[in-house]
Amino acid sequence: MEIVILAVVIAVVVIGALGGLVVGSRRRKQLPPPPPAAPDITAPPAEPHIGDEAETPRDEPRRTIEEVDLPDASATAPVEVEVEVPEPTAGRLVRLRARLSRSQNALGKGLLTLLAREHLDDDTWEEIEDTLLTADVGVQPTQELVERLRERVKVLGTRTPEELRGLLREELLTLLVPDFDRTVHTESPLDTPGIVMVVGVNGTGKTTTTGKLARVLVADGKHVLLGAADTFRAAAADQLQTWGERVGARTVRGPEGGDPASIAFDAVKEGIQEGADVVLIDTAGRLHTKTGLMDELGKVKRVVEKHAPLDEVLLVLDATTGQNGLVQARVFAEVVNITGIVLTKLDGTAKGGIVIAVQRELGVPVKLIGLGEGADDLAPFEPEAFVDALIGE
């Protein structure tokens, strides 16, 4: 009898322990949901109910029942704000290269098919020209490319598809200016943090790019501080701050409608005080009047440079806007000294030729490309990889 009771007790204990293990392991796998990219400010605040804890902020995700610690749980995992570990920069190019091929492959295939025709008559060359123009390569670069290809194909005489691919590869690469210095300068030659200012028209992807860039830098072990100098909408600073919080980077911000220059000034000042490695400044890009823009950005720059010179001024352009992007580029280049271009949304357009056109327009390299809305969908621009994505390796 005693043995039976003992057996029952042991069985209960064992089952209980197993149950705890299963719950425990399930709980461990359950990662907290990532914070939203931008808080929805249009949603009305949830109304408090009887029994709610007064101090619980209403806009924070509620803990689910599985996240509540069991009484016997020895390993108590914190479930509040969890800092993400960004994807290292090294591995991501492979993934993003595939995405680039998907969006840009049609252009290369179209060109190769045309070049493979038995008779390369005037009509065919015109079609090649049209294909390049449609992809936003721009008039001048298109004419140069066609002229050089015509010449080299003539010299070649009989031609194999491999030879044609080789020719096209070389000529496209030349147009992309492979020897441009595409380093994003996030380090200062002085004893101050590197200072990067991000400019561009609203909606092009400035804040997103600033957030993505912060992640890359944090992944590289840098201490990053963000400056929310887009004070036009409160949501803009919230959006930047959310990006920063995900990787543990602080955002310096001010009141809505405040002076962007003073926030930029404070961000750099605090960056110097806390020994930050890099200060990233996100700006507003209202293009209502050029003088307004010029005043605002010019002032931000002047004021920041009371501390230290800007190390990088990145112009963000939306690749899907085509020639309109060139017009924007021209305006911004008149206002500030652009040192690098970020071409966003290349995942959403086949018009990758804009890379060629915009570098030509400004004489400034495309340094980074955006290939999606995901947090790690930002890649350094590499001309070789770009051409390979276009025409296949």
Ligand X SMILES: Nc1nc2c(ncn2[C@@H]2O[C@H](COP(=O)(O)OP(=O)(O)O)[C@@H](O)[C@H]2O)c(=O)[nH]1
Tokens of 349: 């357009």
Nearest distance in Å: CB 207, ligand X:
3
Whether residue 205 is annotated as binding a ligand: the answer is yes
- One-letter amino acid for residue 360 of the chain: R
State the nearest-atom distance from the C-beta of 366 to ligand X, in Å.
13
Subset of 317-376 contacting ligand X (CB under 6 A): 344-345, 347-348, 370-373
Distance CA 374, CA 212 (A): 9
Q: For residues 122 and 128, give the distance between their C-alpha atoms in angstroms, rounded to a whole number.
A: 10
H/E/C letters for each residue in 189-247?
Answer: CCCCCEEEEEECCCCCCHHHHHHHHHHHHHHCCCCEEEEEECCCCHHHHHHHHHHHHHH
Six token digits for residue 110: 């179209």
Binding mask 201-230 for ligand X (x = CB under 6 A): -xxxxxxx----------------------
Q: What number of chain residues touch Mg ion (CB under 5 A)?
A: 3
Stretch that binds Mg ion, among 73-81, 104-112, 124-132, 231-239 (CB under 5 A): 231-239
**CB under 8 A, 24+ apart: contacts of 99-102:** 99/347, 99/371, 99/372, 99/377, 100/346, 100/347, 100/352, 100/369, 100/371, 100/385, 100/386, 100/389, 101/388, 101/389, 101/392, 102/347
Chain residue whose CB lies nearest ligand X: 370
Q: Where are the beta strands (DSSP E) in the chain?
A: 194-199, 224-229, 250-252, 278-283, 312-318, 340-344, 366-370, 378-380
Q: Cβ contacts of residue 267 below 8 Å, gap of 6+? A: 225, 226, 227, 229, 252, 279, 281
202 appears as a binding residue in the annotation: yes
Is residue 337 marked as binding?
Answer: no
The distance of closest approach from Cβ of residue 207 to Mg ion in the complex, given in angstroms and rounded to an integer, is: 3
Q: Which does 204 bind (CB under 5 to 8 A by kind): ligand X, Mg ion, none?
A: ligand X
Sole window of 157-165, 185-193, 228-236, 334-342 interacting with Mg ion (rule: CB under 5 A): 228-236
**Which option in Mg ion, ligand X, none does residue 208 bind, with CB closer than 5 to 8 A by kind?**
ligand X
**Binding of ligand X by 97 (CB under 6 A):** no
Q: Return the one option of ligand X, Mg ion, none that residue 244 interacts with (CB less than 5 to 8 A, by type).
A: none
Nearer to Mg ion, 62 or 288 (CB): 288
Q: How far is the CB of 335 from ligand X (least distance, A)?
A: 16
CA 304, CA 309: separation in Å to the nearest integer?
A: 7
- Any binding-site annotation on 222? no
Q: How far apart are CA 393 and CA 387, in angstroms?
A: 9
Of 223, 175, 190, whose CA–CA distance to 360 is shortest?
175
Closer Cβ to ligand X, 127 or 373, answer by number? 373
CB of 277 to ligand X, least distance (A): 23
Min CB(96)–ligand X separation in Å = 10
Is 346 annotated as contributing to ligand binding? Answer: yes
* Residue 200 annotated as part of some ligand binding site: yes
What is the rounded end-to-end Cα distance, in angstroms, of the chain?
A: 78
Residue 87 interacts with which of Mg ion, ligand X, none, CB < 5 to 8 Å by class: none
214 binds Mg ion (CB under 5 A): no
Check residue 236 for interaction with Mg ion (CB under 5 A): yes
Scan residues 22-51 and list those touching ligand X (CB under 6 A).
Answer: none
- Using DSSP's 3-state secondary structure scheme, residue 378 falls into strand
With beta carbons less than 8 A apart as the criterion, state whether 372 and 212 touch.
Answer: no
The least CB distance from residue 168 to ligand X, in Å, is 26
For residue 242, the minimal CB distance to Mg ion (Å) is 12
Q: How many residues bind ligand X (CB under 6 A)?
A: 17
- Residue type at 151 in one-letter notation: E
Please enumerate, by residue number, every residue annotated as part of a binding site.
Answer: 200-207, 282-286, 344-347
Q: Which residues sit at the interface with ligand X, rule CB under 6 A?
A: 200, 202-208, 344-345, 347-348, 370-373, 377
Q: Report the binding-site residues for GTP.
A: 200-207, 282-286, 344-347
Site for Mg ion, rule CB under 5 A: 206-207, 236
